[in-house]
Each structure stands twice: as structure tokens, then as C-alpha cells.
A and B are shown apart, each in its own frame.
Chain A
């Protein structure tokens, strides 16, 4: 309890010493904000920018159903399985001719569930213009300004728009699936027309809902959606394996592209590929490490100045009988206040900034790492402060400034 009170006293002194703490709070805001950004940039190599960084896209040269694509996909998988970390297939099924199609992404062989939201540029979370990404079953994304035009025999038409929060129910007899619209994507991007192929509206759903629709709701359903002849394969996405740091990821992208270009597995051909230079990644990584160390060193600098500035105060406190640990907690109070306020404001600032601009998303990991860095800065400062306290004799209290 007394130690907690001393800590709180340290907080309040930090608030009162406006100039000194203010300057350092600003420095901590800048450095933590920048660090968060930089970590988000590194993160984006495996989220927002995964296609740019390590994706290879294959598309069929003609309309191809899942039944006839099945073996080719396996063949592709076998050909590149040592170079990839995942193979993802974009499936399409027509719900209402020309008006509404259902799409999904499914991994085959190895694949990482956390990559799925990112491998199809059309639906990735950072591209969603309204709402959010889907979190699983029962949720869907649709194009902005979706208008579904049903022609009923007799020449009547029903034109139905779909907005955020609306449900689209796909039903046959007593079997149905309800999809709630949680987000919208922009239909003007290139892959929309490539995948829609003339269908006006595309509803993106989880693989589970897609499979249920194909295997249970569809009239005369297939046993296996991946082999159904009324399901179409619109795209295969290969995500190269290997790390960026050694350049292995880029090497893998290259080798996948070359092997599938030189020995194409019909009817698929490589239409797009990414790949990031090792040096670009390394410099991003290096910048992150510099900022990370910078934040820790800033904690040390602040502590060093605190000790110098408060020499007389420390000596006085020791003279009047505070124990070393009391003084330590007191000074740590100031350091903790300044770093934590810097962290919180930096984080809020960058989050606000990233939602209004097109910055990569800030993951939980990024926040966690930055917080650990702040703790390390405090720990480093703690070391400095403790050493400083031990060096300052209470006798200094009697001396002139």
C-alpha cells in the first residue's frame, strides 16, 4: 500500500512537471506510433500484402467445373507442394442466372486458415468499403449497390437491393441457409469481373456455407462440392512458402512461376505473381529493430536525465529516511507514466490514422510487441534509476546545488 502510494505520487509529479514530461511524452508518442506502424508494415507481408509478396495466381483458360478441375488441381499441388505454404481455390456457383452467384475460398492440401481472408484481393478486409470481413458461418459480403433482379414467369420482375445487416436466405424445401450481409466490396476492381464473368452480384460466404448450399440445398445435390459439375473453379491461388529474410520466399515464387509456365497443367495458366526483394524486407525489418531499440534507449535516456535532474531530491529523500526502494518506486512512477501515456496516445493516434487512410491493419501482435517494448524501456530505465540511486549519497542533501 505505501509503495503504491509512492508510485501514484510519482505519477502526479510527472503530470506537474509539464515541460520535462511533456517533451518525453511526445517523443514516446512518436516512437511508439512509428513502431506500431512499422510492425504493421511487417505484419502486412503475411496479410494485406501477401499476394504481392508471395502469391501466384492461376486461372483456367475456359469455363471449368469443379469435377473436371479436380485432378488438375491435385496435379498442380503435387508439382509445387515443396515451394508453397498453401493452395487456395476460388469456387463459384450460380444461384440465379446472371443475377446472383456465390463465391468462396477453400484451401486444399496444406493451407493456413488465417491466410484465407487475404488471398482473394476482392474480399480482403482492407478492401471492404463498408462493414467488416466475415467471421465464419452465416455471414457474407456482397458488392456495393447490389441489385438482384428476379424475373418471374409472366414478365414480372422483382428488384431487390441488399444492404448491410440484410439477410439473404437460400432455401429449398425445409433446407436453407441464412446469410447476413456484414460487409461490402467494391465491384469495380478487376478481379470482380474475372470471377463474376457477367453475373451481376456476387455473394461471398464461408466454405462451410458454400458447401452446405451445394451439397444439401441444391436440387439433385452432389456428394462432394469439390467435385460437383455445377460448381466452377475461377481461380487458384498459390502462396509461396519460405521466409523473406533469407530471400527464400522470392525464390519459391520464381520457381513456382517458372515450373507452371514451362510445364503448364491445362487448362490453368499463371496470370499474376508477386514476390518481394529480400533487401526491401530486410530494410523494413531493420527499421523496425532500430525503432524498437530506440524506444528502449529513450527509456534509458529519460531515466538518466531524471536521475541527473533530481539528484538533490533523491539525496534529500534518502537523508530523511526513504529506503532505496521507496525512491526507486517514486522515480519509476514518473517513467511509467510518461511511457504508458506515450504508448496509449501513440496507439490511438495510429489506429485513428490507419482507419482513415489505407494503412495496413494493426494486429493484436503488433500492440502486444509494442507493449513489451515499452515494458523493456521501463525495465532498462529501472536499471539506470536503481544504479543512480545507489550512487547518490544522502550526504549530497547538505551540499550546495
Chain B
């Protein structure tokens, strides 16, 4: 019996198809995808360029709408939600990590981490406290006053992870988070994501075309989704039988 059974479903893709209409005909970025993501999972979506990884992340986070099928986030279909509601959902429930970090150039590390909090009704002090907490978590507290161009790629990505975490999201969505990093920084970033998953129960979804990430995450992966031409080619659920309580104890 898998250790995952019994956990609530966080995200469900139900027969999702995404078709892009173009001048030269239509492109199926995703075809009839069904997938359940449970709370606390660590999922890697693997696939070559153009296989539909980013499209899948876009749909999950409500930045794009499927051509067919339904997406359920936290027991609620997101298809009927307004742009405002979707933004709120992303802000409160999802943390994003991007391939190119996407930090704001003229803001310090600390300010960058505070960005998702700015639209919230929080005191300045509370915002700083939360942001410093997360910077500490990714071991960037000492460099909190530096600007992105004064940080290495790996450091920038750690700041970006702190930003993704600052609202205490249910899930972290990372698109090629290590593609710009050297092996050393790749391991550091992955270790942080693994730690978050294991210690805090944060669901992690990583899209990549790098098999190495699978190897490095062996100990935590719960699902490995292989995409090709917009279809699921292979789905491996983890045989590493860790129990939920084990995870909580770290």
C-alpha cells in the first residue's frame, strides 16, 4: 500500500486538452491529460522541449484556460473563476519559481521577497518579518540588501524561492528551476525544495527536461510524469514507501 493514499487531492486535471490555433493549423500542446496531485506530493514532469510542460503549469495555475476538460484546485473547478479570483488563488496558494528567476532588478532581495505581500493588508513590520524568515530558510538572510545583479544565479534562485514561499503556499510550481544553474547550485536549490516538501508538507511540482533532477530527487519523488507531444507517456509512482508521519517528523 502506497504511503500517499488517504491524502486529499490538491489538484486534479480531468481530460485536459489544450489546443493552440495558429495560421498553419492547430497545435495540440496537451491532449486528454488526466492527473491527480495529492497534497504533499513531490512531482517531476519530464519531457523534451515542446512536450507541453509549461502549458500544463500554466493551466494548473489558472494563467491559461484549457480547450477541453476541467481543472480542479482545492476541490473547486477553476474554470469559472474570474481573473481577480485566479490572481488571488495564485497569490495565496501557489508559489512560483521560474527558469530565469524573474526578480525585479531595482529591488533588493528583501524587497523582492516582500512583493507578493504588498497587495495584502499587512503592516510593514509584519511583511519584513515574514520575508526575513523565508530568506533565512534559503540561507540568504545575510545578503538581503543586495540587488539581483549583485547575486549569483544560484543566489537569485534562492531569493526567488523565498519569494515563492512568503505567502505560505500549498504548492510550489517550478518551471526548469535549475536550467540556468551549475551542478552545485542545482543541488542546493533542489535540497531546499526537498526540505520544504519533507518538513513543511509543501506540494512541489517541477517541470524539467533534465533527467538529473529525477536522480537527485529520488528520495522524495512521489510521481514522475513523462510527457511527449502533449501526452503522458509514462507515469511512475514512487515505490519508496515513506509514511506520512515519517515525513512530518522529518
A residues neighboring B (CB under 8 Å): 1-2, 5-6, 9, 13, 16-17, 312-313, 316-324, 326, 393-395, 397-398, 400-401
Contact = CB atoms under 8 A, between A and B. Distances in A.
A393 B63 contact: yes
A398 B119 contact: no
B121 interface: yes
6 smallest CB-CB distances across A and B, nearest first, come from A321-B91, A321-B90, A16-B106, A316-B102, A394-B63, A326-B119
B203 interface: no
B198 interface: no
B98 interface: yes
A17 B119 CA distance: 22
A307 to B, nearest CB: 15
A5 B99 CA distance: 29
B178 interface: no
A397 B102 CA distance: 7
Interface of B is mostly: mixed
A294 to B, nearest CB: 28
A329 B93 CA distance: 23
B108 to A, nearest CB: 10
B40 interface: no
Contacts of A16: 106
B181 interface: no
A9 B105 CA distance: 13
Of A2, A17, A394, most buried by chain B (CB within 10 Å of CB) is A394
Interface residues of B, number: 37
Given A5-B118, A321-B90, 15 more contacts: A13-B107, A17-B106, A316-B102, A317-B115, A319-B96, A320-B90, A320-B91, A321-B91, A321-B94, A322-B91, A326-B118, A395-B54, A395-B58, A397-B102, A398-B54
Contacts of A401: 100
A320 B119 contact: no
Contact of B119 (A6, A319, A393, A400): A6
B84 A320 contact: no
Nearest to A400: B100
A101 B87 CA distance: 79
Contacts of A17: 106
B84 A316 contact: no
Contact of B57 (A2, A318, A398): A398
B61 interface: yes
A320 B116 contact: yes
Nearest to B147: A16
Contacts of B94: 321
Of B84, B111, B115, B175, most buried by chain A (CB within 10 Å of CB) is B115
Contacts of B21: none
A319 B63 contact: yes
B88 interface: yes
A294 B88 CA distance: 39
B142 interface: no
Contact of B83 (A2, A320, A324, A398): A324
A6 B94 CA distance: 21
A305 to B, nearest CB: 15
Nearest to B114: A9
A317 B163 CA distance: 11
A5 B121 CA distance: 10
A153 to B, nearest CB: 82
A2 B119 contact: yes
Contacts of A6: 118-119
A2 B120 contact: yes
Of A16, A316, A321, most buried by chain B (CB within 10 Å of CB) is A321
